[in-house]
Amino acid sequence: MPAQPSKTLESFPNPKPERDYFVQIEVPEFTCLCPLTAQPDFATLQIAYVPDQRNVELKSLKLYMWSFRDEGVFHEAVTNRILDDLVAALAPRFLRITAKWYVRGGIYTNVVAEHRKAGWLPAPPVEIPAQTTPASTRG
């Protein structure tokens, strides 16, 4: 039996919960419907998160994204709903969704929504000095 769209997001235990690391996911074929005209809207969704105890299972994410195909919803609403649903399923340290909507009526729309776990602060960036060539090896 072929897969069906689903609003269920599944997860699995983080294999390295003691470490902050980024998971980046791109969904290049997200679709939903305009709630006013019922015409299709298309977007590329970029999801970046720092997991805590759980990671999202990708097949369930694919079926979840598919579940919006026939749903009429504004860009801002669906972006924030996806953020809320992922936060509810994963309780991540950090999660950002960037929805890049394709042109409609000559206008591109990008919607960015974020979640930060209370008290979580990212580690400061590491500055790596430029590599220099020792004087003895210069021509």
| Whether residue 34 lies in the annotated active site | yes
Closest CA to 45 of 60, 34, 61: 61
Per annotation, catalytic residue among 34, 52, 70, 84: 34
Take residue 118 and report the two structure tokens written for it. Answer: 């209370």
CA–CA separation, 47 and 90 (whole Å): 13
* φ, ψ of residue 10 in degrees (nearest 5): -100, 160
Using an 8 Å Cβ cutoff, are 56 and 90 in contact?
A: yes
Per annotation, catalytic residue among 41, 52, 84, 85: 41
| Whether residue 32 lies in the annotated active site | no
CA–CA separation, 113 and 96 (whole Å): 6
Q: What is the DSSP string of 78-97?
A: HHHHHHHHHHHHH--SEEEE
Q: Which residues are catalytic?
A: 34, 41
